[in-house]
Structure 1
Amino acid sequence: MSLELNEQFQKVINGLTEKFPGDVIDVYQSTGDTFVRVTPGAIHDVCTYLKEEQHFIYLIDVFGTDRFTSEDRFEVVYNILSLRDRLRLFVKVWLPEEDPEIASVTGIWECADWFERQTYDMFGIRFTGHPDFRRIYMPEDFEYFPMRKEFPLLGIPGSIELPSSTPDPE
């Protein structure tokens, strides 16, 4: 991997590729940010290493995307920050369309709790080992995931009872 990284980032990437040689799939830069794609099975160990050894102590966000491809349809992105070194890193994993599932990182960063619940609620990506895994926005019995690309723009008629749009007569 030949990227033009600053010295601090190069140490982080070298440490990752040495510690997880078969799990680091891709490293690239885009719009001034650095991205590392890893295998889904290694996400918990990679995040633990990044927090404990590389001082990425601040999890800014976890979010999902629907790549809408036939293979590895979903993506989970972890936006992390090293306050000490002033570095931002995006760690990504790709997941299959059928049974998208990945280990929770709430044991590493407690703030991942609601991020992971939101990602499940919108995309249907399950986080194993999550301490309170339930829907956060949609009703528990809602069978759909609104941010998936096949979800209709106007929603699914009758799936959720909506309030009346006509004013009450007084």
Structure 2
Amino acid sequence: MTAPQMPGPDATVPAPGAVKEQGDAQPEGVEAKNPSDVPPAGVPVAAVPLGAQTGAPADFPPSTEAGRGLFGVHGTGDTSGFGGLVRRRSTLPDTPRPYGGYFDEVVDALTDAYPGASGAIERVVVDRGELTLHIEPSAIADVCKALRDDPSLRFELCSSVSGVDYLGHDEKRLHITYHLASMTYRRRVRLECAVPAEDPRLPSVTQVYPTADWQERETWDMFGIIFEGHPNLTRILMPDDWEGFPQRKDYPLGGVPVEYKGAEIPPPDQRRAYQ
């Protein structure tokens, strides 16, 4: 039986869906398979790369479901953050030993180098590959000095000092974080202190890490955290006569009413009750 042919000039091309008879010639430009190239039964065959069947690149990503909008918004167009910015923070639990990697060595070396370490370290948390030591605020400068000077630690660089406001979480809602790096051992550790908003003060670490100077000033400027012993704790971003601390969660957003034709848009603080 001969396969049906396409009419016209392509009469030599089999019609779509035609059954290829045994003995038919191989299409021009396509090499016939050598029987020796076919793997014997039981031998695993490499999977066909993704997209090879459709002609797409092998590393072409599969289609995924469209993501949600800003702050998880679905379809409303509301990107104000209402609801998404007032969710309660879940406290990470203490991490039991072994912490993994060099983290155990750092904690043990700090305990040996600083006699008051057992009382100064309130919690140890390992999360997302990062070691965080929660430090009693009054001991932060002494802990930093031990981390910098001990030969087995050598955290010579304080790369960041910043603040966080966990409004409504607990009475010590203002947190201060320090990111230290050891250039000698290529290690990192994160320190965190918590102070109440009514009396937000702790020692400055500028005597240990001079690089913390402007960063402590910025943290004071934005959160009102007092770093005792700082050589010049003044505002660095806001004007000297500015009232309040803009990055606290209870700081008013301010603004003025905006008038449109037949309507007036109130300031953000008057649009919704965020508390």
Same-fold call, TM cutoff 0.5: yes
The residue correspondences of 1:73-88 to structure 2 (distance < 5 A) are 73-88=173-188
Deviation at 1:156, TM superposition (A): 6.3
In the superposition, the TM-score normalised over structure 1's length comes to 0.86
1:82 & 1:24 partners in 2: Cα distance? 19
| Residue-by-residue CA offset, 1:61-111 (whole Å, 9 max, x unaligned) | 000000113411100000010111111110010101112001111111111
- Residues paired across the two proteins, number: 155
2:125 corresponds in structure 1 to: 28
Which amino acid in structure 2 is aligned with residue 144 of structure 1? Answer: G
1:120 corresponds in structure 2 to: 220
| Residue-by-residue CA offset, 1:107-141 (whole Å, 9 max, x unaligned) | 11111000000000000001010011110011111
| Residue 129 (structure 1) aligned with residue 229 (structure 2) | yes
- Which structure would you say has the larger Rg? 2
Whichever structure has more strand as a proportion of its residues is: 1
Deviation at 1:152, TM superposition (A): 2.4
Gaps of 5+ in 1: 158-170
C-alpha spacing 1:13/1:152, structure 2 compared with 1 (3 Å): same
One of 144, 152, 158 as aligned partner of 1:47: 144
Deviation at 1:17, TM superposition (A): 3.5
One of 62, 67, 87 as aligned partner of 2:166: 67
1:144 corresponds in structure 2 to: 244
CA RMSD of aligned residues (A): 1.4
1:114 & 1:36 partners in 2: Cα distance? 23
2:53 corresponds in structure 1 to: none
Which amino acid in structure 2 is aligned with residue 2 of structure 1? Answer: R
Quick check: 9-18 or 66-75, which moved more?
A: 9-18
- Structure 1 runs (4+) deviating above 3 angstroms are none
2:107 corresponds in structure 1 to: 13
2:156 corresponds in structure 1 to: 57
Task: Answer 1 or 2: higher relative contact order, Cα 8 Å, separation at least 6.
Answer: 1
1:164 corresponds in structure 2 to: none
1:90 corresponds in structure 2 to: 190
C-alpha spacing 1:95/1:156, structure 2 compared with 1 (3 Å): farther
2:206 & 2:255 partners in 1: Cα distance? 32
SS state at 1:65 partner: strand
Gaps of 5+ in 2: 1-95, 257-275
1:50 & 1:82 partners in 2: Cα distance? 9
